[in-house]
């Protein structure tokens, strides 16, 4: 079996698990935690693997979580349309539609606030599909 065939048989969820495992530093632990927070608040969320990045979708892309050398990025695809009462968005603030949260090693994670954003983002997608 060639590499392309073997990769095609791997589910997006398994690719994400492999990605988490491959990040042996703080980023892997954080990604695992963020993944759990996202899936907990939106049980109907679908895990996808796009652009070599974990993407969580509910009737469209909701949030991507990417690992960079010195930070993790949660990119909310329709973040500009979301209220951010906790002031979590700290990146991509000039983008027309998306907003992001950059998290560095040692940063505190406001899990309930992140879950509120995920819940709102998933609801926005669901409302838009009616």
Parse the chain into domains and list their residue ranges: 3-128
What integer pLDDT is reported at residue 81 of this predicted model?
94
Q: What is the mean pLDDT of the chain?
A: 89
Does the pLDDT at position 20 exceed 60? yes
Reported pTM: 0.88
pLDDT tens, position by position, 31-79:
999 999 999 998 789 999 999 999 999 999 999 999 999 999 999 999 9
Q: How far apart are CA 117 and CA 88, in angstroms?
A: 9
What integer pLDDT is reported at residue 1 of this predicted model?
36
Q: How large is the average pLDDT for residues 104-123?
A: 94
What integer pLDDT is reported at residue 128 of this predicted model?
58
Query: How far is Cα of residue 70 from the mean position of the Cα atoms in its chain?
Result: 17
What integer pLDDT is reported at residue 53 of this predicted model?
93
Q: How far apart are CA 62 and CA 45, in angstroms?
A: 9
What integer pLDDT is reported at residue 57 of this predicted model?
94
* pLDDT > 70 in the chain, percent: 92
- Higher-confidence residue: 5 or 17? 17
Report the first-to-last Cα separation within the chain, whole angstroms: 43
- Class at the top of the CATH hierarchy for domain 3-128: alpha beta
Q: What is the DSSP string of the chain?
A: --HHHHHHTS-HHHHHHHHHHH--SHHHHHHHHHHHHHHHH-TT-EEEEETTEEEEESSSEEEEEEE-SSEEEEEETTGGGS--TT----B-TTSSS-EEEEEETT----HHHHHHHHHHHHHHHHHHT-
């Amino acid at each position: 079996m060639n590499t392309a065939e073997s990769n095609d048989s791997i589910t997006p969820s398994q690719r994400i698990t492999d990605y988490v495992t491959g990040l042996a530093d703080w980023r892997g632990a954080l990604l695992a935690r963020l993944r759990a927070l996202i899936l907990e608040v939106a049980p109907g969320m679908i895990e996808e693997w796009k652009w070599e990045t974990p993407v969580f979708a509910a009737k469209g892309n909701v949030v991507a979580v990417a690992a960079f050398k010195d930070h993790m990025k949660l990119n909310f695809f329709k973040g500009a349309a979301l209220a951010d009462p906790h002031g979590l968005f700290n990146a991509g603030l000039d983008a027309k539609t998306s907003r992001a949260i950059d998290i560095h090693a040692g940063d505190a994670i406001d899990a309930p606030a992140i879950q509120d954003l995920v819940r709102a983002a998933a609801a926005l997608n669901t409302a838009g599909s009616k």
